[in-house]
Amino acid sequence: MSYEPLSNQMLDTFVSQKYHWKSLNHEQQMAMAVEVIKHRYLEQQYLEFIDIVLGDKEAFRKYRELITNE
């Protein structure tokens, strides 16, 4: 089953507390949950990648060059 992410406008309204989570239908609540899980997974993968890169001196040098645009 695939869920489309909620629009940024709806998320902004939700976060600003103009919506209560109960005002979202089941599909919208599920879409939010799916999106959070995906982002948590990707964040963990990103952090693991950074840890590996920082453990390798040559890779770390290249990473620093990349983020400093040198």
pLDDT in tens, the chain (70 residues): 677 888 899 888 888 888 777 788 888 888 989 999 999 999 999 999 888 877 888 877 887 888 887 5
Tokens of residue 30, six digits: 């599920």
DSSP assigned state of 63: H
- Residue for token digits 């040559």? 58
If 0-12 CB within 10 Å is exposed, 13-18 middle and 19+ buried, where does residue 65 land? exposed
The pTM is what?
Answer: 0.63
The three-class DSSP label of residue 38 is helix
Query: Please, are residues 21 and 29 in contact by the beta-carbon 8 Å criterion?
Result: yes
Give the per-residue pLDDT at 70: 58
Query: Please, are residues 24 and 32 in contact by the beta-carbon 8 Å criterion?
Result: yes
Give the per-residue pLDDT at 23: 82
